[in-house]
């Protein structure tokens, strides 16, 4: 067994959340973000006397684990991977599994094997509270989350918790994020023969995605100007409008925690419902995700459907612009399970959730059917809203980010001072088992 050590100890939120236990533990890291943060977490854990190991599934994994404790798996997926990871966990007496993206096929198998052995599973993701927070949840997010969905339980758990510090502490640039993404994915494309049986979880080939982003970048100035003008027009007008933020087609929040196999199914449901049930004076603003790769022409699809339903004049497609300003005047937000819904709730706006989300809670989000939402959207109840954000921040959020030196140091090390049971103190009050179920997939075909 290889055990790691590093330099000075930094008692940080993610590290403490994973290691604040008296006995020496063995942490197995699987795939994380294209970022140094997993290696930094391992450095801190190693400095505390714990053992940190990693199974690399592709060249990119290996690049972002330039430290001791790395093992390369070059075999096949499925049962071969199951046998390998089970043997690895037994041989090294693994006590904790750490990963990003619990719904990735390799991770699903590893989690099943871990649970059979009572190995704790910790999932690190981008924060629910953007932009400089990280999420750390036991077992996973959304349908897999243990965060309570009972309003009274949330109020009781948050009764003594302080208001979170909302001041932004850490920034990261898109250029750094893009560079890390290239550093991870290009070796996987051109050095694939080093891990010949590895299968990507993404829907699109990396080179296709990069080509799409280059095309979008070429027209970004024009789209930005048009987006600003549209937002300005909506804010200056008298018409009531709803916002429907699109998500990334590859997002596992869409693929695993919603009733849709394809985002076009959600678009069909939302626009059809709006056409039939929204007030005739209301508008619907469909906003594309800022990191969309452009490989699907969402605008053409949305506008064609609106034309067919006779509401083309009541639908606006937004690519760019100030989303926060838009949310400030919106009559409500409809989302599959995007964190835009959280931003809207922070502003006290009605939110209708179509998939599974930790913020889809009675008295917080609208619980009526989508068809009813348009005419009478329900605002979040203030006591529930305040308690929810306090508990969310205290229980499963830490400050930091994936793509800056200061942000990764803060997330992995820093001086936040959280104590853990096993993630942090408020998680004693979290729901067991997870209170949410994965939605059944619907048979609504894209039109």
Asked whether residue 202 is domain-assigned, the answer is: no
Give me the pLDDT at residue 14, please.
58
Residues 71 and 113 in one domain: yes
Asked whether residue 348 is domain-assigned, the answer is: yes
Residues 102 and 249 in one domain: no
Asked whether residue 376 is domain-assigned, the answer is: yes
CA atoms of 365 and 334, how far apart (whole Å): 10
Nearest Cα to 340, choosing from 98, 129, 56? 129
Q: Give the count of domains, the chain.
A: 2
Give me the pLDDT at residue 433, please.
84
Residues 85 and 54 in one domain: yes
CA atoms of 339 and 361, how far apart (whole Å): 14
CA atoms of 301 and 215, how far apart (whole Å): 19
Q: Which helix (H) or strand (E) holds 306?
A: helix 298-308
Q: Give the helix ranges, DSSP H, for 158-244.
A: 174-190, 206-218, 220-236
Asked whether residue 102 is domain-assigned, the answer is: yes
Strands 51-56 vs 120-126: parallel, antiparallel or unpaired: unpaired
Residues 208-257: tens digit of each pLDDT: 999 999 999 999 999 999 999 999 999 999 999 999 999 999 999 999 99
Asked whether residue 409 is domain-assigned, the answer is: yes
With b for 16 or more beta-carbon neighbours within 10 A and e for fewer, the 162-184 pattern comes to eeeeeeeebebeeeebbebbeeb
Residues 421 and 382 in one domain: no
Residue 144: CATH number of its domain: 3.40.50.1380
Nearest Cα to 142, choosing from 246, 245, 254, 29? 254
Residues 243 and 272 in one domain: yes
Asked whether residue 201 is domain-assigned, the answer is: no
187 SS3 class: helix
Asked whether residue 177 is domain-assigned, the answer is: no
CA atoms of 146 and 124, how far apart (whole Å): 14
Residues 84 and 228 in one domain: no
Give me the pLDDT at residue 442, please.
79
Nearest Cα to 401, choosing from 418, 417, 392, 414? 414
Residues 270 and 141 in one domain: no
Asked whether residue 191 is domain-assigned, the answer is: no
Q: Which helix (H) or strand (E) holds 278?
A: none
Give me the pLDDT at residue 230, please.
97
Strands 133-138 vs 241-245: parallel, antiparallel or unpaired: unpaired
374 SS3 class: coil
The whole-model pTM stands at 0.90
Residue 383: CATH number of its domain: 3.40.50
Residues 128 and 242 in one domain: no
Range of the domain at 36: 13-172+396-429
Residues 126 and 167 in one domain: yes
Residues 279 and 401 in one domain: no
Residues 381 and 407 in one domain: no
Residues 146 and 250 in one domain: no
Q: Which residues of the chain have pLDDT under 70?
A: 1-22, 414-431, 443-447
CB 244 within 8 A of CB 284: yes
């Amino acid at each position: 067994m290889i055990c790691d050590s590093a330099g000075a100890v930094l008692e940080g939120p993610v590290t403490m959340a994973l290691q604040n236990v008296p006995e020496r533990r063995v942490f197995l890291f699987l795939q994380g973000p294209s970022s140094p943060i997993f290696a930094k977490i391992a450095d801190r854990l190693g400095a505390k006397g714990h053992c940190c190991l990693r199974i690399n599934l592709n060249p990119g994994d290996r690049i972002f684990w330039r430290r001791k404790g790395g093992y390369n798996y070059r075999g096949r997926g499925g049962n071969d991977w199951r046998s390998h990871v089970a043997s690895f966990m037994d041989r090294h007496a693994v006590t904790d599994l750490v990963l990003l993206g619990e719904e990735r096929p390799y991770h699903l198998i590893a989690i099943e094997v871990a649970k059979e052995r009572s190995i704790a599973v910790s999932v690190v993701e981008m924060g629910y509270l953007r932009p400089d927070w990280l999420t750390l949840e036991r077992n996973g997010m959304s349908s897999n989350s243990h965060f309570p969905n009972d309003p009274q339980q949330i109020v009781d758990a948050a009764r003594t918790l302080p208001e979170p510090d909302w001041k932004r502490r850490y920034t990261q640039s898109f250029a750094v994020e893009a560079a890390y993404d290239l550093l991870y994915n290009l070796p996987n494309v051109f050095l694939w023969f080093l891990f010949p049986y590895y299968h990507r979880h993404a829907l699109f080939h990396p080179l296709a995605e990069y080509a799409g982003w280059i095309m979008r970048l070429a027209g970004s100035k024009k789209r930005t100007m048009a987006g600003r003008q549209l937002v300005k027009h909506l804010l200056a007008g008298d018409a009531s409008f709803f916002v429907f933020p699109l998500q990334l087609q590859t997002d596992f929040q869409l693929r695993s925690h919603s009733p849709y196999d394809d985002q076009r199914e959600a678009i069909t449901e939302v626009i059809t419902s709006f056409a039939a049930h929204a007030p005739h004076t209301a508008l619907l603003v469909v906003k594309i995700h800022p990191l969309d790769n452009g490989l699907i022409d969402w605008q053409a699809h949305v506008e064609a459907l609106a034309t067919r339903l006779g509401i083309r004049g009541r639908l606006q497609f937004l690519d760019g612009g100030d989303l926060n300003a838009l949310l400030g005047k919106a009559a409500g937000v409809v989302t599959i399970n995007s964190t835009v819904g959280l931003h809207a709730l922070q502003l006290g706006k009605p939110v209708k959730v179509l998939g599974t989300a930790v913020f889809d809670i009675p008295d917080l989000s609208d619980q009526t059917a989508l068809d009813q939402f348009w005419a009478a959207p329900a605002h979040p109840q203030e006591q529930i809203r305040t308690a929810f954000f306090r508990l969310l921040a205290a229980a499963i959020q830490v400050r930091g980010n994936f793509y800056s030196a200061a942000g990764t140091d803060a997330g992995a090390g820093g001086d936040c001072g959280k104590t853990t049971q096993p993630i942090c103190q408020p998680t004693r009050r979290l729901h067991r088992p997870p209170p949410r179920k994965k939605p059944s997939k619907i048979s609504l075909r894209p039109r």
